[in-house]
Amino acid sequence: MVSVASARPRPTEPSIARKPRRPLGTYVLIAIPAVLAATFLWQIASGLFHTEVATRQAVAVGQVTLEGDPLGSRVDFVLVDRVGQDTTADASVNVRLREPDGTVWQTTRSLAAGDYAPLPDTSLLAGRTGYSVLVPASDWARPPRQGGLATVSVTVTPNDDSPSFSTDAQQRFP
């Protein structure tokens, strides 16, 4: 028996040989480390583009202390910027001191950047740049209780369009 040969046409081969295509996974494996390297470099380089002006703006009252003074009591406070460094502000500052029995002493002052200075060595905040407010003993109807718990509130309203900020602290009368 003789079988009939099938006559299937043979595919013609192009004269230019095709390169084999790379699988998609190869590109993904190359792209992931490239993106990670670019992100790492951006993290390092982006620190060079920030300006000091934005970080030096006061955004919070860092610390408040109530301390004894030969002329009465003294409220010391420090303003800080976004990174926690001491700074100054052209602002209106309201300091309010309230004794537990309800007696309140309050003052509002307009401060310029030059009004802030290193706090005295007798202060708990010695050497830090801040501002001191003296509460004269004559301003109290009766002397504050020694060791009594007081609430000290400091509210700062910057002269520019920045939002105001404040803090409340529980302190003992010296």
Q: What is the pLDDT of residue 73?
A: 84
Average pLDDT, the chain: 82
pLDDT of 38: 94
Task: Give pLDDT, residue 85.
Answer: 87
- Residue 1's pLDDT is what? 54
Q: Rounded to 5 degrees, what are φ and ψ at 118?
A: -60, 135
pLDDT tens string 38-79: 999 998 887 777 655 555 788 889 899 888 888 888 889 999
pLDDT of residue 8: 66
Cβ burial of 170 (10 Å; 0-12, 13-18, 19+) is: exposed
The model's pLDDT over 119-151, given as tens digits with 9 standing for 90+, comes to 888 888 888 899 999 888 787 766 666 667 888
Tell me the pTM.
0.65
The β-bridge partners of 110 are 92
Taking the domains of the chain in order of start, what are their residue ranges? 56-172
Mean pLDDT of the 98-118 span:
87
Topology annotation, domain 56-172: Immunoglobulin-like (2.60.40)
What does the alpha-carbon distance between residue 58 and residue 62 come to, in Å, rounded to a whole number? 10
